[in-house]
Amino acid sequence: MVKIAVFASGNGGNFQSIVEKSKEDKYINYSVELLIVDKKNSYAEKRAKNLGIPCYIVIPKEFSTKENYEKKIIEILNENEIRLIALAGYMRIISSTLLKAYENKIVNIHPAYLPNYPGKDGIGDAFKAGAKETGVTIHYVDEGVDSGEIIYQEKLKIKDGWNIEKLEEEIHKIEHRIYPAILNELSKKIKD
């Protein structure tokens, strides 16, 4: 069983699906040990409480440098024997301190078919651009914005008449299905 940490900043919908799926027979290779959030009172924190998963609130501005902020996170990860990190709506750039400590062990989900529509609002940007299709991407994390090596992508056709809420709903459906499955596959490789 590979011990996973999930990082989130807001809603925590992906976090919840990753935890819930890990309780199903099909997803036997990983267990979610903890959630890391970068602010107080997020909905993700509330979900962690309801799911019985420890939540660590580590707030960047309480540290003198980004390096010290990430060192604190590494301390928590080491104490809990974390081997894989899943960013799930964690809206920060990871720097070399954490990247070096977890080389090729940090993955992210992005709500667009990269390299299209990177950044904070992948869904809104695709919608506003009038795109006919978009999708979801799971990729390794590097120091750029949504720019690391792609692990898996799925396309989604945007149908005539969809509003942004419908597009968000369809994107999240894909995310909640594929992220646990990919984490399970990656964990299997780490384990073997």
Q: How far is CA 35 from CA 43, 45, 48, 95, 181, in A?
A: 12, 8, 7, 19, 19
Interacting residues with ligand GAR between 161 and 190 (CB under 6 A): 175
Q: Does 148 bind ligand GAR (CB under 6 A)?
A: no
Q: How far is the CB of 174 from ligand GAR (least distance, A)?
A: 10
Q: Does 122 bind ligand GAR (CB under 6 A)?
A: yes
Active site residue 139: no
Cβ-based nearer residue to ligand GAR, 12 or 83:
12
**Window contacting ligand GAR (CB under 6 A); options: 11-19, 25-33, 64-72, 78-86:** 11-19
Q: Does 12 bind ligand GAR (CB under 6 A)?
A: yes
Question: Which letter does DSSP use for residue 148 in this model?
Answer: S
Q: Whole-angstrom Cα distance, residue 22 to residue 3? A: 11
Q: According to DSSP H, which parts of 29-65 are helical?
A: 43-51
**Window contacting ligand GAR (CB under 6 A); options: 6-14, 52-60, 72-80, 151-159:** 6-14
Residue 10, Cβ neighbours under 10 Å: how many? 15
Interacting residues with ligand GAR between 76 and 115 (CB under 6 A): 88-89, 109-111
Structure tokens of 181? 């499955």
Residue 74: closest CA among 57, 104, 99: 99
| Total residues binding ligand GAR (CB under 6 A) | 15
Work out the angle at residue 50's Cα, subtended by the Cα atoms of residues 45 and 55, and round it to the nearest 5 degrees: 35
Write out the catalytic residue numbers: 110
Residue ranges binding ligand GAR (CB under 6 A): 8, 10-14, 88-89, 109-111, 120, 122, 146, 175
